[in-house]
Amino acid sequence: MLLLLAGSELFGWVDWAAVGRWVSGYELVLVLAAGGLAFVVVGIVRGLTSHKVGRRPPLSWWAIAAGVALVIGVVWGTTGWLLAEAGRSKTDPAAARVEAVKTGFGIGAGTGGVLALLLAVRRQWHQEVTAADTQAHQEQVAEDARLDAGARRVTELYTKAAEQLGSDKAPVRLAGLYALERLAQDNPTQRQTIVNVLCAYLRMPYTQPGDPPADNAEEKLAHAYRERTQEREVRLAAQSILAHHLRPGPSRDNPVETFWPGIDLNLSGAALVQFALDRCTMHDADFRKATFTEGTWFDEAIFTGKAWFRQAIFIGDAKFRSATFTDGAWFRQATFTGNARFEGSTFVGDAKFGEVTFTGNAAFTDEAAHTDDAKWGDTTFKGNANFDRSTFTSAATFGKDSLPSTRYLDDKTSSPWTNFSGAQFARKVPAEVARFVSAPSAGDAPGSGTHPVENR
C-alpha cells in the first residue's frame, strides 16, 4: 500500500487535487463506506474460518446486506464524484457526464461482481452441507436399521432357545442350552441375562435318578428313571457351560476369548450335581440353601464380590482349597456331610461359619488367612478340626464347646481332634482355642514352632 501511494505521487498517477475536492464533500459517505467495508471483511474472515468447521456459512446475511450497501455507496459516491469532475470540463461537459456515469456504474459492477462471487461460494457451501447432512442421515438410518435387525435377531434366537429349554425332550433342552451359549458368546451385553437363564434352569426342582429300577419294574418307574437320568445330563451341561466361561486364562481347550468377566451367579436353592467351579472367577455368588451332591470343587476360585453359602448342604467332599473371598463369605448354618477342605483359602472380608455342621473333617490349614472377623460361634465339628498354620489377622471367635475336645499331638491321636499348631493370631488367642495351642518350647523364636503369635 505504501509503495502504491509513493508510485502515485512520483509518477503522477493520481490527481490528488481532484481527490481532495471530492473527499471534502463526501466525508460522511466515506465513513459509512469504510464501515461497510470493515463489516464485509470481518464477515468474510469469520465465515471462512467457520467454514473449516463445516457448520456455519462462509458469508452471513448481515455481511451480505453490508456488502450490498457498500456496492450502492461505491456506485453513488464514485458516480457523484465523476459527475462533479465532468461538470468542470471545458470541452464537452455533456459527454464527460455520460462517461462519468458509465465509469461509476462500471466500478459498481466490478464491486458487485466480488459480492456475487462470495454469494456463489455461500450457495456452494449450502449445497455441500445439505448433501453431507443427507448422507449422514442416510447412514444413521442404515445404522439404526442394522442395529434394529441385530436386536430382532438376538430376540428371536433368545426366544427360540428359551422355548427349547421348556421342551420335555432332553436333546431339545441341550440344544437350547448351547444355542444360548453361542448367543452370549457373540453378544457380550447379553451374557449376564443368559447366565441368569441358566441359573434359573438349575434352580428348577430336580430329583436325582437314584438306583436303576429292576428289569421287571413297571414301565412308569423305568420311564421316570430315564427322564431323571437325562435331566441330570442336561444339568451337568448347564454347569459345564458356566464353568467354561467363568474360568479365565488361556489353555488348549479354553482360550481367553471365552471368559465372561464380572458375572453374578444366583443359584440359591439349586440342586447341583458334581458342581465344579475350580479356578473360576465370578462376582457375587448366591448359593443359599443350595444342595451340592457327589462332591463340590471351588479350588482356586476367586469371588470378587460377596459369597453366600448360608444353609447350603454339601453332600460329599467340599473343596475350597486356595479359594479367595474378597468381599466376605457367609457359611452360616451350612452343613458339610463329607470333608470340608479350605487349605490355603483367603477370607479378605468377614468369614462367618456360625452354626455350621462339619460331619467330616474340616481343614483350614496351609496358611489359610482370615483378614477380617472370623466367627465360628455354635459351629459343630463332628470330625477333625484342623487349623494348622492358619492366620487370623483380626478377631476370631469360636463356640465354647464346638471344637473336638482332643488336641492333636501326633498321628496316633484318636479322632476327632482339634489342631491349631502354628496358627497365628494378630489379636489375643480366643479362650476357647487356647487349650489347643501348644506352649512354646525353650529357645523357640517368636512366631516359630507350634505356638501362636499375639499382637504381631
Question: Reduced to 3 states, what is the DSSP secondary structure of residue 353?
Answer: coil
In a domain, 157, yes or no: no
**Same domain, yes or no, for 368 and 243?**
no
Q: Total domain count for the chain?
A: 3
CB atoms within 10 A of CB 106: 13
**Closest to 287 in 3D by CA, of 203, 407, 377, 401:** 203
**Same domain, yes or no, for 243 and 273?**
no
Q: CB-based contacts of 64: which residues, under 8 Å, 6+ apart? A: 43, 115, 118, 119, 122
In a domain, 367, yes or no: yes
In a domain, 159, yes or no: no
From first CA to last CA, the distance across the chain in angstroms is: 88
**Same domain, yes or no, for 16 and 34?**
yes
In a domain, 148, yes or no: no
**Same domain, yes or no, for 306 and 331?**
yes
112 vs 340: CA distance, rounded Å: 96
CA 101 vs CA 20, 113, 220, 266: distances in Å: 20, 18, 117, 94
382 burial via Cβ count (<10 Å: 0-12, 13-18, 19+)? middle
Place of cell 455533456: 94
- Residue 234: what pLDDT? 96
pLDDT in tens, 178-226: 999 999 998 999 999 999 999 999 999 998 887 777 767 677 888 888 8
- Residue 437: what pLDDT? 79
**Same domain, yes or no, for 135 and 82?**
yes
pLDDT in tens, 85-131: 656 665 666 666 666 666 666 666 666 666 676 677 677 777 777 88
Cβ contact 85:30 at 8 Å: no
Decide which of 141, 158, 175 is a domain's last residue: 141
Mean pLDDT of 44-69: 58
In a domain, 149, yes or no: no
In a domain, 160, yes or no: no
Place of cell 464527460: 96
In a domain, 64, yes or no: yes
Range of the domain at 451: 266-440+447-456
Decide which of 126, 141, 156 is a domain's last residue: 141
**Same domain, yes or no, for 293 and 384?**
yes
Q: Lowest-confidence range among 184-198, 264-278, 304-318, 338-352?
A: 338-352
**Same domain, yes or no, for 455 and 308?**
yes
Question: Reduced to 3 states, what is the DSSP secondary structure of residue 299?
Answer: coil
289 vs 272: CA distance, rounded Å: 11
Mean pLDDT of 257-267: 94
Q: What are phi and psi of 75, to 5 degrees?
A: -60, -45
Place of cell 476367586: 302
Cell of 391: 492366620
Q: What's the pTM?
A: 0.67
**Same domain, yes or no, for 21 and 36?**
yes
Helix axes 219-246 and 170-186, enclosed angle (nearest 10): 10
In a domain, 192, yes or no: yes
**Same domain, yes or no, for 58 and 91?**
yes
Assess whether pLDDT exceeds 50 at residue 76. yes
Q: Lowest-confidence range among 66-75, 162-171, 251-260, 278-287?
A: 66-75
**Same domain, yes or no, for 254 and 273?**
no
Q: Lowest-confidence range among 201-205, 261-265, 314-318, 400-404?
A: 400-404
**Same domain, yes or no, for 297 and 399?**
yes
214 vs 212: CA distance, rounded Å: 7
CB atoms within 10 A of CB 33: 18
Decide which of 263, 282, 300 is a domain's last residue: 263
Assess whether pLDDT exceeds 60 at residue 301. yes
Assess whether pLDDT exceeds 90 at residue 176. yes
CA 335 vs CA 104, 274, 355, 367, 382: distances in Å: 108, 17, 9, 24, 11
**Same domain, yes or no, for 109 and 204?**
no
